[in-house]
Amino acid sequence: MKLVFIGPPGAGKGTQAKIVSMKYNIQHISTGDKLRENIKNGTLIGKKAESYTSKGELVPDEIILDMIKDILNDNSCKTNGFLLDGFPRNLNQKEELDKLLKKMNMPIDKVIVIDVPEKELVERLLLRAEKEGRKDDTKEVIENRLRIYNESTKPIIDSYKKDNLVHFINGLGSVEEISKKIFDEIS
């Protein structure tokens, strides 16, 4: 199974992506996690990315696309499938992904969009900032990330709608309730 998860920051997308990828035994590909790992380890990618992630801005497409190409070429993605979490994040990334998957003959099966009202998102993100101490969870950066989601990421949903792949999930409720809704959509 090949899935794309889309949702604003704070929608619980990462949590659900982990649960779903475990259940279906597919590779969980989170560009955000990969970037944080690179930043922590002080790699070249990490050094290039940090000035963007710390402000809540999108890291340049070339860096992200190189990362994604390497991961998708991994055998487990080809045999078991994958779940993309946090990628694609703008129309150019989506178009590049379409081209890549076409070449690899691995079309996306479903796009899951997790929807949560914006006011609830800001509260959740501020709470997460206290708990996890993520540098990109200050109020100013949160607002920037939400603005970028609305401007750059939302248009991808319309593009996937044309391909008839989109399933909307209401992201309000407990983690278990939301997982159940996603399982129902997928199976």
The set of catalytic residues is 13, 89, 128, 134, 145
> What is the C-alpha separation between 88 and 102, in angstroms, rounded?
15
Q: For ligand AMP, which stretch binds (CB under 6 A), given 28-36, 121-129, 161-169, 173-181?
A: 28-36
Residue choice 1, 52, 106, 186 for contact with ligand AMP (CB under 6 A)? 52
Residue choice 7, 9, 12, 81 for contact with ligand AMP (CB under 6 A)? 9
101, 84 in Cβ contact below 8 A? no
For residue 10, the tally of other CB atoms under 10 A from its CB is 24
Residue choice 11, 29, 35, 182 for contact with ligand AMP (CB under 6 A)? 35
Q: Cis before residue 117, ω within 30 degrees of 0?
A: no
Residue choice 8, 12, 56, 171 for contact with ligand AMP (CB under 6 A)? 56
Q: Looking at beta carbons only, is 127 or 184 nearer to ligand AMP?
A: 127
Fill in the per-residue mask, 144 to 173: x = in contact with ligand AMP (CB under 6 A), - = not in contact. Answer: -x----------------------------
What is the sign of the dihedral through the CA atoms of 68, 69, 75 and 79? positive
Contact between 16 and ligand AMP (CB under 6 A)? no
Residue choice 19, 20, 39, 64 for contact with ligand AMP (CB under 6 A)? 64
Contact between 86 and ligand AMP (CB under 6 A)? yes
Q: Maximum distance among all alpha carbons in the chain?
A: 43
Read off φ and ψ for residue 25, nearest 5 degrees.
Answer: 55, 50
Among all residues, whose Cβ is closest to ligand AMP?
32
What is the sign of the dihedral through the CA atoms of 180, 145, 43 and 65? positive
